[in-house]
Amino acid sequence: MFNQDVIAALLAGEHDDPFAVLGMQRTADGLVVRALLPGACTVGVVERAGGREVATLDRVDGGDLFAGRIVGRDEPFAYRLRIDWGMHRQDLDDSYRFPPRLGDTDVWLLAEGTHLRPYEKLGAHPLEIDGVAGVGFAVWAPNAKRVSVVGGFNNWDGRRHMMRLRHECGVWETFIPDVAAGDRYKFEIRTQQGDVLLKCDPFAFRAEMRPATASVVNGLVPVTPADPARQRANALDAPISIYEVHAGSWRRVPDDGNRWLTYRELAGQLIPYVKEMGFTHIELLPLNEHPFDGSWGYQPTGLYAPTSRFGSPDDLRYFVETAHANGIGVLLDWVPAHFPTDAHGLAQFDGTCLYEHTDPREGFHHDWNTLIYNYGRKEVANYLTANALFWIERYGVDGLRVDAVSSMLYRDYSRAHDQWIPNRFGGRENLEAIDFLRSMNRIVCAERPSAITFAEESSSFPNVSRPLEMGGLGFHYKWNMGWMNDTLAYMAQDPVHRKYDHGKLTFGPFYAFSENFVLPLSHDEVVHGKGSILARMPGDDWQRFANLRAYYGFMWGHPGKKLLFMGCEFGQADEWQADRSLDWHLLANPLHSGVQRLVRDLNAVQRHYPALHRIDFDSRGFEWISHDDCENSVFSFIRRDDDGHVVLVICNFTPVPRHDYRIGVSAHGRYREIINTDAAIYGGSGIHNDDRLAEPVASHGRDCSLVLTVPPLATVMFELIG
């Protein structure tokens, strides 16, 4: 019935086409059933329709391979295997009797790398075939010699469920009856060199809690319908203020082993807090499954799996739905720039550099000791682009903040002159990565117009947030890293020296309209020895808090959307530590609670006054009044919208109050304070201005002016009320 080479290959798990041998086969001798069942004592064949046993299989050469003829039957039929394991008996549907699941169109699109939603076919999908419940598995591993699904359901034995190779697209697939949601599994891959690898599923929708590394069968969560209200809230002319959160350390439960909050607990605590504080969006550090807590999620091994640290995929959906029900958007940090070298992950996935570059000058990040995706490989680009769409469509997130874009754009990023390979034109730009980013943004925009993408891009690469038709990368927003660096350096100076660095605050508006900028004070600014934002402010306690409040007032007055990392809103004193909660007890101190109240009021003012958000990205929305008063370290400017609304912003970055300070204004009328960071309710000295009427006295090139008292270390905003 078999030659010895076939038997040896099957028993060793090395046969490259087990479906051609195992299961029910037509032969010259009639129908034959063959089964490889290590550990079985006897095996029978049972007709599925009536439950009648129609054959007993013989053990081949005393091994774990069983075979036998079906007497009196010419046509294949549905059957089960009746197995005596010694301690118990079991009837099982034979996975080798089921046909291929991937259709011709899927195979074609997967081979092209143009399948918009490959996650609907690849990975592990609970389904029913011919009335039999089980799971369909599929994985891309074109260079493997053999791929098997292993798990508790087959004693992690790679000989039990070997997969079928679809040569046209390099995908291996099989259907395994009786496997169900919650079962753990991996792919056992035999390389061409004979090595055996155990890999988690690149398309797994759920994974084990670290340090375990298996994938977990979980149904694909349903599509979340697009919401026009979310599209309006994400628009360029909307008031956007983002609260950046590390889910594992925003707040912990000290009475329960200092554990993390779950997704559902975060929905019940974080979302009401964000709503009360007036933020419009929550941005979560990466929630993709990752093996090392200390990476904060930025080294993911499971791009399609929400981390199990905080609960199930359904729990995460509940969090997003709760946020939307409360008018809060949800953004996810997303990491297509690199992946870790962990043995169970994508590295050398099928024994070759499948997802990464072969040459370390292209494929290895020395900064993070990680591997770089090969964006020029169509299947890899497809894997990543589909992942972006997956989070937006399936979990309903409003957008993605793409991490480390600069490292993707340049081949020589953080490399010595002899440690990188030029592009085909001899340049330093990573043309394949650029094409990938443009394609990803195009597809996201076309498939879910309400979604937005943000680039964390720290270089001067042009047109990052410009449309594709204008030659841009197609992002909706770009983080303004230059603004962040300049302004923090300015604020760290003793006020007596700030006049020498005046340009660090006046430089921003010169390029503020070249991109759609977000002003970020992110987690990167409160780690690695940098201290907290509050700790960078000079002076005694009162001055440090006054500086911080003045800085936030300047930030909210400046063109651009806003982003603040958790804890910064109440003046977290210590550097952020990812393994413990924020210092919520500080709110018992009026100075800390004053900062918190100020941030809440700044968000309310930004929302209420269109001049502070409507045309953030157009120079018509900003006008300097005075940018050259370096001796007093005072800045003044106007924000406006197209409907004639005006907000006047004045910043004094010295501890000296400026009495009878004249400011030129363009419009006659009465001006009223709408925010004053020196107000007593925020912990300030309480110097303020009653309503002021513009005088017909020329100043700063304008026909009329106001005479004000500008409080010390403070930002004051005024509205024109008529």
Q: Note the pLDDT tens digit of each residue in 100-111.
A: 999 999 999 999
With a cut of 90, say whether residue 28 has pLDDT above it: no
Query: Would residue 405 count as lying in a domain?
Result: yes
Any idea what the CATH number is for the domain that residue 151 is in?
2.60.40.10
Where among 460, 479, 498 does a domain terminate? 479
Other residues' Cβ atoms within 10 Å of the Cβ of residue 417: 6
Residue 273's contacts (CB-CB under 8 Å, 6 or more residues apart) are none
291 and 337 fall within a common domain: yes
In this predicted structure, what is the pLDDT of residue 77? 92
| Residue matched to tokens 């974080």 | 270
Q: Determine whether 403 is an active site residue.
A: yes
Q: What is the CATH number of the domain that holds 316?
A: 3.20.20.80
Tokens of 284: 């979560």
* pLDDT tens per residue, range 361-407: 999 999 999 999 999 999 999 999 999 999 999 999 999 999 999 99
Structural domain including 139 reads 104-216
β-strand 281-284 against 329-334: which pairing, if any? parallel
Same domain for 239 and 198?
no
Residue 29: per-residue pLDDT: 83
Torsion of CA 248, 250, 253, 257, to 10 degrees: 40
pLDDT tens digits for range 114-147: 999 999 999 999 999 999 999 999 999 999 999 9
pLDDT tens string 695-706? 999 999 999 999
What percent of the chain is modeled with pLDDT above 70? Answer: 100
Say whether 338 sits in a helix, a strand or coil.
Answer: coil
Question: 568-600 in b/e burial notation, b at 16+ Cβ within 10 A?
Answer: bbbbbeeebeeeebbbeebeebebbbbbbbbbe
Q: What's the whole-model pTM score?
A: 0.94
Residues 127 and 238 reside in one and the same domain: no
Buried b / exposed e along 421-454 (16+ C-beta atoms within 10 A): eeeeeeeeebebbbebbbbbbebbbeebebbbbb
The average pLDDT across 188-203 equals 96
Closest listed residue to residue 608, CA positions, set 657, 641, 650? 641
Give pLDDT, residue 17. Answer: 85
- Cβ(490)–Cβ(476) below 8 Å: no
Q: What average pLDDT does the segment 572-580 reach?
A: 95
Which ranges of 12-133 does DSSP label H, i.e. alpha helix?
104-112
Q: Would residue 66 count as lying in a domain?
A: yes
Q: Are residues 152 and 16 in the same domain?
A: no
What gap in Å lies between CA 243 and CA 581, rounded to an integer?
Answer: 16
Within 8 A by CB and 6+ apart from 534, the residues are 544, 545, 548, 568, 571, 572, 573
Mean pLDDT of the region 544-548: 98
Q: What band does 14 get if pLDDT is binned at 50, 70 and 90?
A: confident
pLDDT, position 30: 87
Q: Return d(Cα 8, Cα 160) in angstroms, integer.
A: 15
| Residue after which a domain boundary falls, among 97, 128, 162 | 97
Q: What is the CA radius of gyration of the chain?
A: 31
Strand extents, DSSP E, 254-369: 259-260, 281-284, 288-289, 302-306, 329-334, 364-365
Residues 76 and 109 in one domain: no
Q: DSSP for 416-453?
A: -TTS----TTS-SB-HHHHHHHHHHHHHHHHH-TT-EE
CB 171 within 8 A of CB 160: no
d(CA 564, CA 330) in angstroms, rounded, equals 14
- For the stretch 251-292, pLDDT in tens is 999 888 889 999 999 999 999 999 999 999 999 999 999 999
Q: Does 237 share its domain with 386?
A: yes
Q: Looking at 283, 289, 333, 403, which residue is catalytic?
A: 403
Residue 279 and residue 381 in one domain = yes
Inform me whether the pLDDT recorded for 1 exceeds 60.
Answer: no
- Catalytic residue among 173, 379, 456, 486, which? 456
On whether the CB atoms of residues 314 and 220 are closer than 8 A, the answer is no
**29 plus 123 within the same structural domain:** no
Residues 6+ apart with CB under 8 A from 264: 311, 315, 318, 319
Domain match, 47 and 92 both: yes
- Could you tell me if residue 557 is inside a domain? no
570 to 214, 567, 581, 603: CA distances (angstroms): 40, 6, 14, 14
Q: Is residue 484 part of a domain?
A: no
Name the domain count of the chain.
3
Same domain, 82 and 192: no
Name the token pair of 142: 């074109």
- Which of 156, 185, 216 is where one domain is finished? 216
Residue indicated by tokens 């195979």? 107
Neighbouring C-beta atoms of residue 132, cutoff 10 Å: 17
Helix (H, G, I), strand (E, B) or coil at 13: coil
pLDDT value for 406: 96
pLDDT level of residue 2 (50, 70, 90 thresholds):
low
pLDDT for position 443 = 97
- Quick check: is 75 in a domain? yes
Catalytic annotation on 61?
no
Give the SS3 label for residue 602. helix
Average pLDDT (338-364) is 96
602 domain residue, yes or no: no
Same-domain pairing of 458 and 330: yes
* Pair 280, 337 in one domain: yes
Whether 715 is covered by a domain: the verdict is no
Q: Please give the C-alpha separations between residue 350 and each of 196, 345, 358, 439, in angstroms, as whole numbers.
A: 9, 11, 13, 26
Q: What is the pLDDT of residue 41?
A: 93
In a domain, 630, yes or no: no
* The pLDDT of residue 50: 83
